[in-house]
Amino acid sequence: QSALTQPPSASGSPGQSVTISCTGTSGDIGGYNYVSWYQQHPGKAPKLIIYEVNKRPSGVPDRFSGSKSGNTASLTVSGLQVEDEADYHCSSYAGSNWVFGGGTKLTVL
Amino acid sequence: QVQLQQSGPGLVKPSQTLSLTCAISADSVSSNSVAWNWIRQSPSRGLEWLGRTYYRSKWYNEYAVSVKSRITVNPDPSKNQFSLQLNSVSPEDTAVYYCARGKFYALDIWGQGTLVTVSS
C-alpha cells in the first residue's frame, strides 16, 4: 500500500482538461513544498514533469501544471493530447525519505 | 546530457544479495548539488524509494526504513558510478529497479530500469 493516495484511473477527451489528486499527511505533502509528479509510459522509466509543487523542468509543456492545498496535491493536464495517455505518479519529500502514490492511469478517450 | 546506465543480474536466488550498478555520464557522483538514488517498482507496491548517497564535503547515505537493515548504497568516484546492494532477498523483492539523480528534491534523470526476479 502506497503512502500517498491517488485515484487509480482518470480519463478525458482530446482538448479537455483533467486533474489528478494526491493525498498525503502533514508529514509529507502538508509539511514540505517538495511535491513532484512523474509521467510513465508502458515499459519506460518515469519522467519528471513537475517539481517543487508547480515548477516544470525544461522541455515539459505548460499544459502540465501542479498545485497544493494542505495535505493534497494536484496535477492538471490541459488541452489533452493522445500522447498524454500514461501513468502519473505523485511523490513527496517526507524528511530524509521520499514517498510515492500508487499511480493514476490516464486514458485519453 | 546526463545519462544513467544500469547493469547487474536479472535473477537472484532467495537469501542471496542483489547487486546493481549505475554508471553516470555528463555529471559526477561527487557533485555537491545532487544526490544519487535507487528506487524500485512492483505491481503490488508501486514506486518505492530505497536509498541514496550524496557528497557534501563528505559522503552521506540515507535509507528507507523498510529496507534499512538490508541495504547499502555506495559511491565509486574512481569509476563515476554508484551501486545498490540488498541482502537477504525474498520473492517480495522482485521488482524493476531504477537508479535516478536527485535534484531540487525530485528525481530528474532516471536509468533504464532493471527487472530483478528473486527465484530459486
State the DSSP string of chain B. --EEEEE--SEE-TTS-EEEEEEEESS-TT-SS-EEEEEEEETTTEEEEEEEEEESSSEEEEE-TTTTTTEEEEEETTTTEEEEEE-S--GGG-EEEEEEEEETTEEEEE---EEEEE--
Q: What SS3 state is found at A56?
A: coil
**pLDDT for the residue A62:** 95
How far is the alpha carbon of B13 from chain A, nearest alpha carbon, in Å? 24
Label residue A4 exposed, middle or buried (CB < 10 Å: 0-12, 13-18, 19+).
buried
Task: State whether residue A38 sits within 8 Å of chain B by CB.
Answer: yes
Cell of B88: 537477504
Per-residue model confidence as pLDDT tens digits over B70-101: 999 999 999 999 999 999 999 999 999 999 99
Nearest chain A Cα distance for residue B51, angstroms:
8
Chain B CB contacts of A93 under 8 Å are 105
- Across the interface, do B106 and A100 touch by the CB < 8 Å criterion? no
Task: Pick the closest to residue A64 from A80, A52, A86 (CA basis).
Answer: A80
Question: B49–A46: do the CB atoms touch at under 8 Å?
Answer: no
CA pair distance B35, A59, nearest whole angstrom: 22
Q: What's the pLDDT score for residue A46?
A: 98
Query: On the CB side of B37, how many CA atoms lie within 13 Å of its CA?
Result: 23
Residue of A nearest to B37 (CA): A98
Question: Looking at beta carbons, which residues of chain A come within 8 Å of B98?
Answer: 45-46
Quote the pLDDT of residue B66. Answer: 93
The C-alpha angle with vertex A46 and arms to B89 and A1, in degrees rounded to 5, equals 50
Q: CB of B69 within 8 Å of any CB in chain A?
A: no
Distances (CA, A) of A11 to A18, A32, A108, B94: 7, 29, 6, 30
State the cell numbers at A59. Answer: 522541455
**Residue B3 grid coordinates:** 545519462
Which candidate from A45, A98, A103 shows the least CB-CB separation from B98?
A45
**pLDDT tens readout for residues B24-69:** 999 999 999 999 999 999 999 999 999 999 999 999 999 999 999 9
Q: Nearest-CA neighbor of B110 among A79, A103, A99, A46?
A: A46
DSSP class of A15? T
Question: Which residues of chain A are within 8 Å of residue B3 when distances are taken between CB atoms?
Answer: none
Q: How far is B31 from chain A (nearest CA, A)?
A: 19
- The CA distance from A42 to the nearest CA of chain B, in Å, is 12
Q: Cα dihedral sign for A46, A100, B109, A75?
A: positive
CA distance B113 to chain A (A): 7
Q: Whole-angstrom Cα distance, residue A56 to residue B48?
A: 23
Please tell me the predicted confidence (pLDDT) of residue A96: 85
Q: What pLDDT is attached to residue A2?
A: 75
Q: Where are the beta strands (DSSP E) in chain A?
A: 9-12, 18-23, 35-40, 47-50, 64-69, 72-77, 86-93, 98-100, 104-108
**A103/B105 CB distance under 8 A:** no
Query: Using CB atoms, which residue from B37, B104, B110 is nearest to A52?
Result: B104
In order along its 109 residues, chain A shows pLDDT tens digits of 778 999 999 999 999 999 999 999 999 999 999 999 999 999 999 999 999 999 999 999 999 999 999 999 999 999 999 999 999 999 999 998 999 999 999 999 8
